[in-house]
Amino acid sequence: MTSEQGINATIIKLRRQLQRFFAGALAPLVNWLATRGIRPDQITWVGFDLAVAAAVLAAFHLFTLAGILFLLSGIADLVDGALARRAQRVSDSGAFLDSILDRGGEALLHAGAAVAFAWWGVWPGVLAVVLSLSGSHLTSYSRARAEALGIDLEEVWVGRGERIIVLSIGLILHFALIAFWIIAVASWLSAAHRAWLAHSRLTVGRHAEPGAAAASHPDDDEEEGGESGSR
């Protein structure tokens, strides 16, 4: 195993340990919701609504409240998946809805912050938001495209979970500009890392028949599903 493979394996291991930790911490809430017949899609919509509210507050320069609501939105994203497994309601349609609303909520939060920075005339902040959003989506899309080509690409340096934590803390503690720049740089590096991994595995590990790649190359954007912390 190379040093890079060891680092990637360590990152995956740590992320799974964190997922198990949060799953245990949220288990009482998940069980309470399950006993009351709450559906996972309802929690998914609650998380999206919280992200929308966070975006509006951010646009009006209320960064602390926006950060709190965005963090709660991220927690809802953990709860809906756990609830789906607890209630045996896991479905492709639910995973698709979850991915779409996650991306929508995250994009709106960035839009709200961009409005605030533009209003203040902080154009480096607007640039940071643009790079943060584009890098975040490229990180997710690189995995989705790789999986569409049959390549498992779980490794990621900075995923959705890390983005939520950094941006939420940045908004709450009023160093949003720094937080967006952190995510901007880290997301683009993560996307480049995933692209390099995918290219290496497609080149070395696969010898697809002519036309196979083209057949599995849809034009529409594919969002990765699965574990929230890995997106």
Enzyme catalytic residues? 102
Q: HSE-up of 186 (CA within 13 Å, CB side)?
A: 16
Euclidean distance between CA atoms 214 and 211, whole angstroms: 5
Dump the DSSP string for 126-180. HHHHHHHHHHHHHHHHHHHHHHHTT------SS-HHHHHHHHHHHHHTT-HHHHH
Euclidean distance between CA atoms 43 and 127, whole angstroms: 32
Is 92 exposed, middle or buried (CB count within 10 Å of its CB: 0-12, 13-18, 19+)?
Answer: exposed
Q: Which residue has the tokens 């996650």?
A: 102
Q: Which residue has the tokens 């899309």?
A: 141
Alpha carbon 147 to its chain centroid, in Å, reads 16
